[in-house]
Amino acid sequence: MPQRPYVIDQMISAKAIAARIEALSHEIEVEFSDTDKLVVVGLLRGSFVFIADLVREIDLPVEVDFLEASSYGNAMESSREVRILKDLRSPIEGRDVLVVEDIVDTGHTLHHVTGLLRSRNPRRLKTIALLDKPSRREAPFRADWIGFEIPDEFVVGYGIDFAQRNRNLPFIGKVRFTEAE
C-alpha cells in the first residue's frame, strides 16, 4: 500500500531537546544520588536516540537494558493491545530502574510495562518520557519526568518513526499530509 504524501513541520528543535535533556539529567541525578548503579531501560524502538543522549548526561553509574513493547505496528493509531517483543536481559529485583520512553500517548504501553516491571520488585522504579500528549490519555499513567508536553499531533524524528521512516531527524516534527499531485 503506497503511503500518502506528507511533509514534516519542525515542532521542537535539536537545540531545545539537548537543553531539556541536560536539565532532566540533573533532576534524575538528585533522585538517584544514593544508587550504586542505575538501570536505564529504554523502550524500543522509539527511545533509542533519547536514551543515548540521556545516559551521556547522567553523572551516575548506569547500566543500559532494553525492552521492546508494541501497540502501534505501522499504524498511526494505537491498537491498545500491548505486546512485549523483547524482554530485559538482566533481573531488576532490588535495583534502581529508570524506564525511558519516547512518547506517552494513550498511556497503555507505559501502564502495562511499569506494571510488569514493578512485579519484578525493583528497589525504585521511575519513568521519563521525551514527549507527552495528555489530551490522548486513556490509561491512568503519568511519567515522573516529561521532556515536552505536546498537542495531539502525529510526530516523528529524534528516534520516533512513521512506518519506520524519519527516525533519523535531529528534531521533533509534526507530520502534515499533503494532497497527491
- Catalytic residue numbers, as ranges: 105
Q: Which of 175, 134, 164 is nearest to 4 (CA)?
A: 175
Beta strand 83-86 with 96-104: parallel, antiparallel or unpaired?
unpaired
Strand (E) positions, 113-171? 124-132, 145-149, 155-156
Tell me if the bond preceding 45 is cis, omega within 30° of 0.
Answer: yes
- The dihedral formed by the CA atoms of 54, 58, 61 and 62, expressed in degrees to the nearest 10: -10
Q: Which of 85, 83, 90 is nearest to 122 (CA)?
A: 90
